[in-house]
Amino acid sequence: MELKDIATLIEDQGKAWDAFKNANDERLKAIEAKGYAPADLTEKVAKINADLADIGKQMTEIEKKANRPKADAGRTEDTPEQAEYRKAFQSYLRTGEGDSHALKLAGRKAMNSNSDPDGGYLIMPEMDMAIDRVVGTMGAMARLADTVTIGTQKWQKMVKTAGMAMRRTANGGTAGETTEPTYAQVEIEVFPAEVEPWVHNETLDDARVNLEADLAAEAAIGFAEGANAEFITGNGVGKARGITSYTNVVNSSYAWGSVGYVRSGKSAAFMSVAPADRIINLQHALKAQYRPGAVWLTNDTTLGVMRQIKDGSGSYYLWQPDPAAAFGGRFLGSPVEVDDNMPALAAASYSLAYGNFKRAYKIVNRAGTSLIRDNITAKGQTKFNFRRRFGGGIVNYEALKLMIFTTGA
């Protein structure tokens, strides 16, 4: 990691936060005294808030860059079968030459894979790892959730939804039956997804270009952007099911299979008076056993609003910068993760989540990514179709809570 850049950004973040607090306090005093804040002061607060967001994004980008593997990251010494396949695969990438049937068989043998490559050729392991690494660092959900790789069409697990109840008996009394624990089967299906980087044919002829690395990087960004959006808003039909697309109920009516929510108290916004109260309610709607490791998840605009919230007496801000929490800082002691796939503030939107995502959400990848080369569709260019299968869904409904931005208690 570029420590000098990070250190400078941390220093800039601290200075900007001090400036923000001073300007916002001045704005609040003006509102209290006059009933309104001067336009230039309001603009100043908004500008500093935007600067804080920009600094945070720069910190996140440096972290992503540091986590992004080189082309040969994770590469081990090839077996004879892998060396043979690598040579044939690299030739196929640049020229399209090779016996297609033999190449497929060689790929399966070299990768020790029985997975169906969907009509394409299995990519080399380090390319697959590079894609996985980028997908796992570009979006908050991919970083926070638990991830598993399978070789079948779906992941299944029996989970306990209610435990066995203890029962007392009198000394010398007859023992009876206790309440049996209840279980539910959770399953997550994987679905095919594709991205298609295009390359000029002149580039294919340039031996200095690391074609595998460039293609893997382009494919990874495409998969990462699409996947992370699905993990939040996907409807589960032929794709991952996102955290906001389940049956959501007021938390007092929570039952397994639904996600509990707390109302913000105001449509499309936090409450004007004591907004923190409802956010505290959301934090404590999550059972204590899940709060260690729990984080807030929201978009950048909503975080900008949360930065301005103080405690009930107006003495201190509830958001604080924290280099360990990177971009989002901390709110009420818990880290804030930012993903702009989270819904914008609107009437009845689910724009803020609080949960232990490692226990709440499962991302399922099927082993193997395939590739098909197409130099026919566009003259002078070659299209590389990458295909992989993945899915995602909630596996523990207790470990996640939402805030709905609407009126009501």
Task: Please state at what angle helix 100-111 crosses helix 80-95, rounded to 10 degrees.
Answer: 140
Question: Is 290 within a domain?
Answer: no
C-alpha closest to that of 352 among 398, 397, 305, 391:
305
50-54, 238-242, 274-278, 350-354: the lowest-pLDDT one = 50-54
Residue 266 in domain: no
Summarised one tens digit per residue, pLDDT across range 282-299 is 999 999 999 999 999 999
Integer Cα distance of 111 and 288 in angstroms: 44
pLDDT in tens, 160-193: 777 667 777 777 666 666 667 788 889 999 999 9
Q: What percent of the chain has pLDDT over 70?
A: 86
At 384, the pLDDT band (50, 70, 90 cuts) reads: very high
Evaluate if residue 4 carries a pLDDT over 60: no
pLDDT at 124: 79
pLDDT band for position 251 (50/70/90)?
Answer: very high
Candidates 1, 131, 136; CA nearest to 71 is 131
Who wins on pLDDT, 131 or 362? 362
Evaluate whether residue 119 is within a structural domain: yes
C-alpha 401/C-alpha 259 separation (Å) is: 6
Count of structural domains, the chain = 1
Instruction: Kindly tell me if the per-residue pLDDT of 142 is higher than 50.
Output: yes
Q: Would residue 110 count as lying in a domain?
A: yes
Q: How confident is the model at residue 232 (pLDDT cuts 50, 70, 90)?
A: very high
Q: What is the per-residue pLDDT for 7?
A: 77
Residue 222's CATH number: 3.30.2400
Q: What is the pLDDT of residues 312-369, one digit of tens each?
A: 777 789 999 887 766 788 999 999 999 999 999 999 999 999 999 999 999 999 988 8
Question: Is residue 385 a part of any domain in this protein?
Answer: yes
Query: What is the pLDDT, as a whole number, of residue 75?
Result: 53
pLDDT of residue 65: 66
Mean pLDDT of the chain: 85
User: Backbone dihedral region of 208: left (phi > 0), alpha (psi from -120 to 50 degrees) or beta?
Assistant: alpha
259 pLDDT band, cuts 50/70/90, is: very high
| Predicted local confidence at residue 268, as pLDDT | 97
pLDDT at site 117? 47
pLDDT at residue 55, rounded to an integer: 84
Using the predicted structure, report yes or no on whether residue 20 has a pLDDT greater than 50: yes
pLDDT at 116: 47
Report the C-alpha gap between 145 and 142 in whole angstroms: 6
Answer yes or no: is 23 within a domain. no
What's the pLDDT at 240? 97
The answer to whether residue 234 sits within a structural domain is yes
Asked if residue 171 is part of any domain, the answer here is: no
* pLDDT tens for each residue of 59-115: 777 766 665 545 455 556 667 777 777 777 778 888 877 555 555 555 555 555 544
Please give the residue range of the domain that contains residue 188.
83-161+182-241+364-394
Model confidence at 241, in pLDDT bands (50, 70, 90)?
Answer: very high
**Mean pLDDT for the stretch of residues 11-39:** 87
